[in-house]
Amino acid sequence: MGKQKPELPQGTLDMLMLKALSLGPMHGYGVGQRIGQLAEEMLKVEEGTLYPALYRIEQRGWIKSEWGVSENKRRARFYKLTRTGRKQLDVEERSGRIFHWPSARCCGRPEGREPWAD
């Protein structure tokens, strides 16, 4: 994979976020954690870049947000997948695009598919 700073293709990040949220509503920090589990490369990226992406897909209607209370009793903004978002995620997963992220540990690849050389 090389030493370059990982560039996140916009679409892939979007999909990762949808995937992360498909496991349940979460605040921004939590989304970042989950994406980090799904794709190790994400851990190296500045965390702040998550938010423009979140806002963007919120504008597209794939997720929606509301204020809530976190585990440690603080006010936080929670994001949740919408029906449109869920549909989008299904489409993307079936098309196989989500697997082009190298070293992604995304769940459920179809048999025998090994799109990256490593």
Contact 102, 32 (CB under 8 A): no
Instruction: Provide the mask over 2-41, with x wherever binding to other proteins is found by CB under 8 A and - wherever it is not.
Output: -------------------------xxx--x---------
Does position 56 interact with other proteins (CB under 8 A)? The reply is yes
The sheet with strand 26-27 has its strands ordered as: 26-27, 75-81, 63-69
How many Cβ atoms sit within 10 Å of the Cβ of residue 113?
9
Nearer Cβ to other proteins, position 23 or 43? 43
- Give the interface with other proteins as residue ranges (CB under 8 A): 27-29, 32, 46-49, 51-52, 55-56, 58-59, 70, 74-77
